[in-house]
Amino acid sequence: MNFIEGEILCVDKPLGWTSFDAVKRLRGALTRRLGVKKIKVGHAGTLDPLATGVMIVCTGRATKRIDELQAGIKEYVATIALGATTPSFDLETEIDATYPTEHITRELVEETLTKFTGRIEQVPPAFSACKVDGKRAYDLARKGREVELKPKILVIDCIELLEFAPDSITVRVVCSKGTYIRALARDIGAALGSGGHLTALRRTRVGDIHIDKCLDMQQADELIRTVEIEMPEK
């Protein structure tokens, strides 16, 4: 493999790691193996620390393909707690309000999910990397500042109900770039006449890359340590 000319590594990002943590780990392994001080490494599509799954990491000149790769269709499996909301729409922040769930049935959930397929408008979470007046929204939100974000048009190809309980659902979502599954959890909870927040998220596909083709971080480290290396001609 020629990491300087450019390679694409597909890894399964662990729970609790930022996308930057994963890139930093692989960059460190590459610089040690190649005996260089620095190498260009980037990722296509950020995953929150509380999410796991497919993350595409590009090295060297392959970083020029990042925009192309992150534009691919995404697939997620998401667990949404019903009956409560949080400011971040996930477990990063504490519950700020509770709502009834007794009226929620499987039939109501399945009917409600159909309203979220096709082209929809979605307001991104305040706890997101969107920029407001040149600053990241999450930096402002974490300081307690009021954040107003404009709705974005996106496409959801499919939402399938995988598991149902009155206070929790698990769904499979196939969607376009730019979809915030946390915001989808918020909106589904509201549409059910209750509240909702994300409790687990796994990205299972980006474009043609499926989770079963991804390396865990230990396997990625091992690959970098042991694979036959090509160095570019000087």
Residue where the block lists tokens 């497919």: 54
Report the alpha-carbon distance of residue 176 to residue 165 in Å, rounded.
27
Query: What is the sign, positive or negative, of the torsion defined by CA atoms of 73, 77, 81, 85?
Result: negative
Q: Are 51 and 13 in contact (CB under 8 A)?
A: yes
DSSP notation for 85-129? E-TTSSTTS---EE---TT--HHHHHHHHGGGSEEEEEPPPSSSS
Q: Are 104 and 195 in contact (CB under 8 A)?
A: no
pTM for the full predicted model: 0.90
Terminal alpha carbon distance of the chain: 17
Residue where the block lists tokens 């865990």: 216
Phi, psi at 163, each rounded to 5° = -140, 145
Look over the chain and give the mean of its residue pLDDT values, rounded to a whole number. Answer: 91
Q: List, for residues 3-15, the tens digit of each pLDDT value.
A: 999 999 999 999 9
Report the alpha-carbon distance of residue 69 to residue 197 in Å, rounded.
28
Q: Are 174 and 158 in contact (CB under 8 A)?
A: yes
User: Could you give the residue numbers annotated as active site?
Assistant: 48
Q: List, for residues 54-86, the tens digit of each pLDDT value.
A: 999 999 999 999 999 999 999 999 999 999 999
Q: Are 230 and 101 in contact (CB under 8 A)?
A: no
Q: Are 118 and 156 in contact (CB under 8 A)?
A: yes
Q: List, for residues 177-194, the tens digit of each pLDDT value.
A: 889 999 999 999 999 999
Report the alpha-carbon distance of residue 125 to residue 90 in Å, rounded.
10
pLDDT on residue 219: 97
Min mean pLDDT across 84-93, 147-156, 188-197 is at: 147-156
Report the alpha-carbon distance of residue 55 to residue 80 in Å, rounded.
22
The count of other CB atoms within 10 Å of the CB of residue 121 is 10
Pairing of strands 84-85, 74-82: unpaired
pLDDT on residue 29: 96
